[in-house]
Structure 1
Amino acid sequence: MNAINRLATVISLATLFPLVVHAAESKGTVEVVHWWTSGGEAKSVNVLKQIVEKDGFTWQDSAVAGGGGAAAMTVLKTRAISGNPPSAAQIKGPDIQEWGKLDLLTNVDDVAKANKWDSLLPQTVADIMKYDGHYVAVPVNIHRINWLWINPVVLKKAGVAKAPTTLEELYAAGDKLKAAGFVAIAHGGQPWQDTTVFEDLVLSIMGADGYKKALIDNDEEALTSSKMTEVFAALRKLQSYMDPDGTGQDWNIEAAKVISGKAGMQIMGDWVKSEWTAAGKNAGTDYECVPFPGSQGIYTYTIDSLVMFKLSKKNDTPGNNAARDDLAKVALEPEFQYVFNQNKGSIPVIKGLDMSKFDSCAQASAKDFAEAEKAGTLEPSMAFNMSTSQAVQGAIFDVVSNFMSDKKADPSKAGKQMYTAIKAAAQ
């Protein structure tokens, strides 16, 4: 090739290259509002981003920090009201139905049918993902809430021989940890974290049936019972073991105290495992996971899901719709389910995956989920938007937080206050 021809080729390629880039960028964009922002969570959601981008689409990340997702929901509501919703958003449980009633969601039935979602998903999960009989959301994982996380080295230094299995053993461990100079229970004083502990205590003291009556059915007798008084009294006792510097702290900051050996235990859902993994720690050796004492045999769950929104006129293009459908498709493929859940600390939502690729905590979670499903002790988490409306949940949060902040609050009156608050919120 002579110099002139080589120059012509270079000019031709240079001219074409911007067109190729433009074509790749114009295949479609999917914007996702979520609150996966801690180190381990960010690593997990990046897996989904990489797969979507590998398929030729652009991922527009709209992450909103804040455990529990309250801040993200505020942003989402503002966006939806202004007529500029994202392609998809992280939404849970009954809230999916509320968004569906506003006629803001679009279905992905074609994707679900093509990829056999009805046979991939447990029936309980599939039902949650539908509005008016149509799939409007894709589940990405199952989290167990009622876990106790332990640094065994710290417990050994404090003279605690084994992980506590009852509330009395939990208190005894707390006493020894405090006496040895450790933070007994790493805990961030935020409403959703306070209510996570409260929910676990309801399981432990009132059992699966009592939990259902109180926190799902909102039954007056259950909420105002002597057992509920026991729950609040236990919450007050557990508070005495919690991190004195934990007020307002995010859960991952508190988790770091257990990982570093400053604290012995943490009461938290299994997303906390993502922080241990990110720190290079191994389940069964560096840390232990056990059901919250007294709640063995019960499994409270939350399911992370991405809900699909109707796009604004400006963004409603074939490419952007294809990008949203691609997101829905890859979220339930084994490639994503394995890597995402290994990073996130949760377990896969699709049935039949080989759990030997997961650590001992995830294997225990999958086993307990299956057993609880058979036993009828699989319970949706109130604290994590799976069992009630945001208004009722907010009322419970307020009562629990007020009780925690007022050291003189009477446990015998708290249940009645909760029932009154729930009743007002439900109107």
Structure 2
Amino acid sequence: MNKATQMGSAIALALAVSSTAAQAQAPLKATVIHWWTSGGESAAVKQFAEAYNKAGGQWVDQAIAGADQSRATTINRIVGGNAPVAAQFNTSKQFRDFVDQGLLNNVDDVAIAGKWDQIMPPSILQAIKINGHFYAAPVDIHMPAWFFYSKAAYKKAGIANEPQTWEEFLQQLAKLKAAGVVPLAFGGQVWQEKITFDAIFAMVGGADLYLKVYRDRDQKAVMSPAFRQVLVEFKKLKGFTDAGSPGRNWNDATALVVQGKAGVQIMGDWAKGEFAAAKQVAGKDFGCFAGFGPKAPYIVAGDAFVFPKTTDANAVKAQKLLANVVTSPAPQVAFAARKGAIPIRGDVDVSQLDICARQGLEIMKDKSRQLPNTEMLASPDTTGALQDVLTSYWNKNQSPEDAQKAFARAIKGE
């Protein structure tokens, strides 16, 4: 072999080694489907993407507006054999069918190493740990029944303090209306109507009745005078909404509070992301309270990533890396601070979190106040049926008694 041939062979070998090394060091690509598309949400999910990339991954973002549309896309891709590495679902029973059909990978080793059993609340664990295996990585805890109010609007209406009772809250809405402000910033969409109802249910009806209805499917509880009164109180809010509320997106309703055009919004703490994006500060520009009084129920909800079944070794590695990154302390805080949520773990530096999030973390220490989100207690089909009942009651001239009967049928599965 002459020198030229030897040199050519050496170069070829060097290129082959270099190529192999590059392949070995190639970032773990993770296609992630989610529905975080508003300003605050986009800023939040960027924190996860950057943390994943720094950890040796390559985040491929696939944001799809609308939770239902996003989940439908995920389902279609799984069924079609083109599943993403990870996809967003709510921390609920939404992905239980996937588990039952063997369509998800578990991340048990990540959960065990991260001591998820010790650091996460029981209601979250019950949603993600199925038959002894961890099938989702929770990324946040949301409370869908926060009350956010404009400090400027409250000042204009002469309201000095946060309400301590439901009756006082209704009085404040009346004062806002008299001051020429839209009292309740509302989005007339079925899911928004449902979470508003659940907020009133928990605050007015109490945790015991809430659990009897949603967890136990107790027909007597649904047909009780106490539940009828919950429906009556819920419908009172209709008179404090504006003509533009039907079909309004939640973040557009939040914008009314941000601008001081509306007084209050009952919404999940993800709404804080919109305030943050508008450079507003909790406690200064807007206020927040998690219910009436020091022992108000705190509804626990949230988001999680599930990991579709795959045998591709790199995809499995990407799933595990992603599960580890999104549940780690620093990314948790960075995400929660922009999303408006609270971290799924309590052992974090709270200095980046606003006063509302700190209040939420403090409340979570009292397990007696924690109340599971209804989607943790009911199947998606039942939830959809209940949404139909409530939107009919909200938008039509229907009696509380008729709504009770319809609710009883829906919760029973008829």
- 1:403 and 2:356 aligned: no
CA distance in 1, matches of 2:307, 2:182: 42
Is 1:71 aligned to residue 79 of structure 2?
no
The whole-number CA distance in structure 2 between the counterparts of 1:257 and 1:180 is 15
Residues 180-200 of structure 1 deviation map (CA, whole Å, 9 limit, x = unaligned): 211111010000100111101
Aligned to 2:218: 219
The answer to whether the 8 Å contact 1:216/1:387 transfers is yes
**For 2:181 and 2:284, how far apart are their aligned partners in 1?**
20
Give the CA deviation at 1:88. 1.3
CA drift of 1:131 comes to 2.1
* TM-score (ref. length: structure 1): 0.88
CA shift in 2, pair 1:149/1:308, >3 Å: same
2-structure distance, mates of 1:254, 1:22 = 49
The worse-fitting range, judged by mean Cα deviation, of 193-202 and 161-170 is 161-170
User: Amino acid of the residue matched to residue 357 of structure 2?
Assistant: A
Which residue pairs with 1:100 in the alignment? Answer: 99
Match of 1:90 in 2: 88
**Where in structure 2 are the equivalents of 1:27-426 lying within 5 Å?**
27-66=27-66, 69-91=67-89, 92-293=91-292, 296-311=295-310, 316-371=311-366, 373=367, 375=368, 377-382=369-374, 385-406=375-396, 408-424=397-413
Letter in 2 for 1:94: K
User: Which residue identity is paired with 2:167?
Assistant: E
Deviation at 1:424, TM superposition (A): 3.0
- 1:19 deviates by 6.2
2:166·2:204 contact (CA, 8 Å) conserved in 1?
A: no
- C-alpha distance in 1 between matches for 2:107 and 2:160: 52
Using the alignment, how far apart are the partners of 2:364 and 2:31 within structure 1?
A: 32
Counterpart CA distance in 2 for 1:349 and 1:241 is 35
CA distance in 2, matches of 1:223, 1:83: 43
- Note closer, same or farther for the CA distance 1:335–1:28 as it changes in structure 2 (3 Å cut): same
Structure-1 separation of matches of 2:389 and 2:61: 35
- Say if 1:204 and 1:294, in contact at 8 Å, map to a contact too: no
Query: How far has the Cα of 1:56 moved from its partner?
Result: 3.0
Q: Residue by residue, what CA displacement relative to the aligned partner does 1:196-224 show, whole Å, maximum 9, x if unpaired? A: 11101111221110111112222111111
Describe the shift of the 1:19–1:423 C-alpha distance in structure 2 as closer, same or farther (beyond 3 A): same
Which amino acid counterpart does residue 90 of structure 1 have in structure 2?
Answer: Q
Shift of 1:321: 1.8
Q: Is the partner of 1:379 in helix, strand or coil?
A: strand
Percent pairwise identity: 35
Distance 1:29 1:277 in 2: 30
Shift in CA distance, 24/173, structure 1 to aligned 2, threshold 3 Å: farther
- 8 A contact 2:330–2:348 mirrored in 1: no
The answer for unaligned runs of 5 or more in structure 2 is 1-14
Shift of 1:20: 10
In 2, Cα distance between equivalents of 1:295 and 1:399? 32
By how many angstroms is 1:150 displaced? 0.7
Q: Is the 2:136–2:305 contact (alpha carbons within 8 Å) kept by the matching residues of 1?
A: yes
- Would you say the 8 A contact 1:52–1:330 is kept in 2? yes
Q: Which runs of 5+ in 1 are unaligned?
A: 1-14
| Superposed CA offset, 1:36-88 (max 9, x none) | 1111111111111111122332212222212xx22222222222222222111
1: CA distance, partners of 2:410 / 2:166: 28
Look up the SS of the partner of 2:413 in the other structure: helix
- More off after superposition, 46-55 vs 264-273: 46-55
C-alpha separation in 1, matches of 2:205 and 2:138: 30
Deviations 1:260-318 (A, max 9, x none): 1110100011111111111111111111111234794311010211111112xxxx432
Asked whether the equivalents of residues 226 and 412 of structure 1 are also in contact (C-alpha less than 8 Å), the reply is no
Give the TM-score normalised by the residue count of structure 2: 0.91
Identify if the C-alpha distance between structure 1 residues 21 and 71 changes in structure 2 by more than 3 Å, giving closer, same or farther: farther
**Cα pair distance change 1:224/1:21, threshold 3 Å:** farther
Question: CA offset at residue 25 of structure 1?
Answer: 8.9
User: In 1, are the aligned partners of 2:138 and 2:327 still within 8 Å (CA)?
Assistant: yes
Find the aligned partners of 1:124 and 1:412 in 2 and give their Cα distance: 32
Structure 2 residue identity aligned to 1:78: N
8 Å contact 1:25–1:57 — kept in the other structure? no
- Find the aligned partners of 1:21 and 1:252 in 2 and give their Cα distance: 47
For 2:333, give the aligned amino acid. Y
After superposition, the C-alpha distances for 1:71-116 in whole angstroms (9 at most, x for unaligned) are: 2222222222222221111122222332200110111112223333
Distance in 2 (alpha carbons) for counterparts of 1:136 and 1:381 = 19
Could you list the per-position Cα deviations for residues 227-284 of structure 1 after superposition, in whole angstroms to 9, with x for gaps in the alignment? 2221121122101101321111111111011001110100011111111111111111
Alpha-carbon distance change, 20 to 283 in structure 1, aligned in 2, over 3 angstroms: farther
1:361-399: CA deviations, max 9, x gaps? Answer: 11111111111x0x2x311111xx222100110011000
Instruction: Check whether the contact 2:346–2:361 (CA below 8 A) recurs between aligned residues.
Output: no
Task: State how many pairs are aligned.
Answer: 400
Look up the equivalent residue of 1:418 and give its one-letter code: F
Q: Is this contact kept in 2: 1:33–1:90, CA < 8 A? A: yes
